[in-house]
Chain A
């Protein structure tokens, strides 16, 4: 049973517009959430994270929102650029589970010029 789910396998967005990637989780013990970006034939790279004590974290064009009551988080990319085209993975960890990350299935983002 997947504890972290990304229900959209793919998303296509026009350059300059907003990209919104969504993630849902079921384990209420998760208290730290991360987004990773992955290009083909490369390992995932860390993008942005958020602790459960916050509801928003911003880093340049990237913002992550956390809704604990809904067990939902989202990544907003504004403005989207063609170089953002990649697979995005949502991940979560729980303090009592060390630093073990549980990943969602990923969303392939395509930004069209």
Chain B
């Protein structure tokens, strides 16, 4: 079974803090993604990566950056956390190619106070 593991289930951070969310997948997938989920808005793509050290902006990259130094690990960084970044963050991975589904981690519920 594919396993995508996010480092924390719940996080509480203060406004202005630098926050790191870590994600590791164990199936040698080329692609990795970070989404955030908010009520009524579904899952919105923040960043994705199709290879080590490669990254592409998604729909809502402002206020975020990412790092992919190793194939299995994809980190999301909130440079200076703000209250509007309170959300559920979901990491996913997939193979490259047609008909490839994405596998998700369990999610990190981040609260910025």
Contacts and interface: CB of A to CB of B under 8 A. Distances in A.
Interface of A: 4, 6, 9, 32, 34, 36, 41-46, 49, 51, 89, 91, 95, 98-106
Interface residues of B, number: 31
A34 B96 CA distance: 16
Indicate the member of A43, A45, A99, A103 with the most B CB atoms within 10 Å: A99
Contacts of A34: 101
Interface stretch (B13-21, B41-49, B64-72, B74-82): B41-49
A99 B95 contact: yes
Interface string B18-55: 00000000000001010100001111110010100000
Interface of B: 4, 9, 31, 33, 35, 40-45, 48, 50, 58, 90, 92, 94-107, 109
